[in-house]
Structures are given as C-alpha cells and as structure tokens.
Amino acid sequence: MTVFLLRRLLQAIGVVFAMSVLVFIGVYAIGDPVEILISPDADQIERERAIEALGLNLPLWRQYLVFLGNALQGDLGRSFVFNEPALQLILQRMPATLELAFGAMFIAILLGLPLGLYAGLRPNSIGSKVIMAGSILGFSLPTFWVGLMLIMVFAVQLGWLPSTGRGETVEVLGMRWSFLTWNGLQHLLMPAFNLALFKISLVIRLTRAGVRETVLMDYVKFARAKGLSPSRVTFVHVFKNILIPVVTVVGLELGSTIAFSVVTESVFAWPGMGKLIIDSINVLDRPVIVAYLMMIVLMFITINLIVDVTYSVLDPRVRLESKA
C-alpha cells in the first residue's frame, strides 16, 4: 500500500507540473489584462510603472519561472483586482463550494441508490418506468432553468425556502459553514438539489445497470441456491458488487461537481469559488484564474487518489495487485 501511495504521489507531482505550464500559457493567451486594469487616461509612464509592478513586462517564460518559484512557496500571486493573495481569496470561498458539492453528492446517493436498486430489481414495474423516465429529464433539462423553476416554485410561490445566499454560518476550523445551522441548511437545500439533479440520474442509471447485470451472475443464483433470504442476496451479494462502479463514478464526479458548480452558484447567488472565477474571468484577473485552475487540478488528483484507495478497500482483487 505504501509503495502504491508513493507511486501515485510521484505521478501526481508530474501532473501538477504539466498542468501548471498548460494553465499558465492558456491564461496568458486569453487577453491583455493591461487594457482592462489600467485606466485609459493613464499616461505612458504610469502605464509602464503599472506593467512593471504587475510583472507583465517580462517574457512569458520568465513570468512562468517567477510564478513557479512563488507557487512552490505557497504563493500563487496577488489578485490584480482585490490586491490580496489569490490563494487566500479562493480558500475563503472554498467552504461554500465544498458544502454545496458534497450536499449535492449526498442527495444524489441518498436518492439515486435506492431508486436505481428498485428499478434494477423490478425492471418491468410501472414504478421503475417512471424512475427511468425521470432520470432522462434529470439528464436533459438545463441546470440553470431547473434552478430558476425551483426558485419560482419553492421561494416565490410557496415561500418555503430562501432563494439566495448562504444564510447563517458557523465558524469551524477557521472556515464558515452553512450546513451546521438550521437556517443555513434551508439555504443549502435548493441549490444542492439543483446541482444534484444530473448526478441523481447518473447514480440511478449506474445502479440499475449494475443490478441488472449482477442478478444474472452465477454467484447470485448460487447464493439463492444456498437458501439465503432475498434481502440478504440483494443487500449483501448484489449490493456489494454494484458499489464498486458506483463509488468510482460518484467519486470522480465529485471533482467535476466542484469545478462546474459555477452555474448553480450564479443562479442562487451562492458565494463560492465558481462565482469568484466567473467574476475574475470577466476582468482577466490572471493570478486568480491561474490559482483557481491549479486548485481544481490538485482537487481532481486528490479525489482520484481517494477513489483508488476506496476502490481497493471495496474490491479485494485490486487490493492484492497493489500489494504485489
């Protein structure tokens, strides 16, 4: 296991390095922040002083080396706009996005697994046809539209749930969290459900396909031939096998949920990283964009690693190979 982890860590460092080059070049290519940041009335001398202060006069590779050197010391640059460390800006907004994403995944599993299990065990029942039709809607309706509809119905018409913001927060571990207060939880529910919609459909389909495949396996028939109760066959023999693909995909989806919570955050004015990145792109706040992208890369790598480890805990066959 240690060797396995070490190897994965080395791979991760390589990936981060490669991504830093790509991200840096990519962001450099999207426009000239000077035009946006420096007032058009500024004279030539002022302009040059500003350009120098921002380090924009250096050639690209020098800028990259400066960035890399600072990054290795945990400094991803200062925001041009807020004049604050970019990393700090992002970290401040991270809890909001994290709780939104985790909330969404939680809802997706809570609803998706049982619905998928039911649809897989009784593929011809009316209930399962309704579930499958619903999952197609979940896949195809645009997130922002569903978000607006949710606000219309539950916030405007019924007035049950608040439509914007995080509500009350509590500080734990130096970060502010909404899900620990009743009011915050109410604020979280609708955006999390909105973000979860696509994932619920995904989990339902994945679970159903897994169940349909697994119930045909000889080992399930053998389990029945041993005289086990139907619930033991379903919840131990079938369930443990479908958990492997579901955990993998759900885990990998967590990264994209965090990365692309942008839409939901915009609709519900949820003050997370997604909203910050949209604002930063609008004003070409390069350090923030680069820092954000690097954070996302790191997050994907970490999530993949956690998924691999979980996977090996669930699947004894993988565990053995990684030991060797």
Partner 1 sequence: MTTPPTLEVRNLRTHFFTRAGVVKAVDDVSFTVDRGKVLGLVGESGSGKSVTGFSIIGLVDPPGRIVEGQILFQGRDLTKLSEEEMRDLRGNRIAMIFQDPMMTLNPVLRIDTQMIETVLAHQKVSREEARQRARDALGQVGIPSPDERLKAYPHQFSGGMRQRVAIAIALLHKPDLIIADEPTTALDVTIQGQILAEAQKLCAESGTALIWITHDLSVVAGLADDIAVMYAGKVVEEGPVAEVLDAPLHPYTLGLIGSVPSRNRRGEPLRQIPGMTPSLLNLPAGCAFRSRCPRAEPRCAEPPPMAEYRPGRFARCIHPHLEEVAAA
Binding interface with partner 1 (CB under 8 A)? 217-229, 232, 236-237, 240-241, 244, 314-317, 320
Own/partner contacts of 257-263, CB < 8 Å, gap of 24 or more, are 257/101, 257/104, 257/105, 257/195, 257/199, 258/97, 258/98, 258/101, 258/296, 258/299, 259/296, 259/299, 259/300, 261/97, 261/100, 261/101, 261/104, 261/195, 263/143, 263/144, 263/147
Distances 136 to 146, 156, 256 between C-alpha atoms, Å: 14, 27, 20
Q: Which is nearer to partner 1, 176 or 224 (CB)?
A: 224
Min dist. Cβ of residue 55 to partner 1 (A) = 54
Residue found by looking up tokens 């619930």 in the block: 231
Min dist. Cβ of residue 113 to partner 1 (A) = 17
Q: Alpha-carbon distance 77 to 67, whole Å?
A: 7
Q: Which is nearer to partner 1, 7 or 221 (CB)?
A: 221
Q: Which is nearer to partner 1, 194 or 207 (CB)?
A: 207
Q: Which is nearer to partner 1, 266 or 310 (CB)?
A: 310
Min dist. Cβ of residue 136 to partner 1 (A) = 24
Min dist. Cβ of residue 242 to partner 1 (A) = 10
Q: Which is nearer to partner 1, 93 or 237 (CB)?
A: 237
Is 93 within 8 Å of 178 (Cβ atoms)?
A: no
Min dist. Cβ of residue 234 to partner 1 (A) = 13
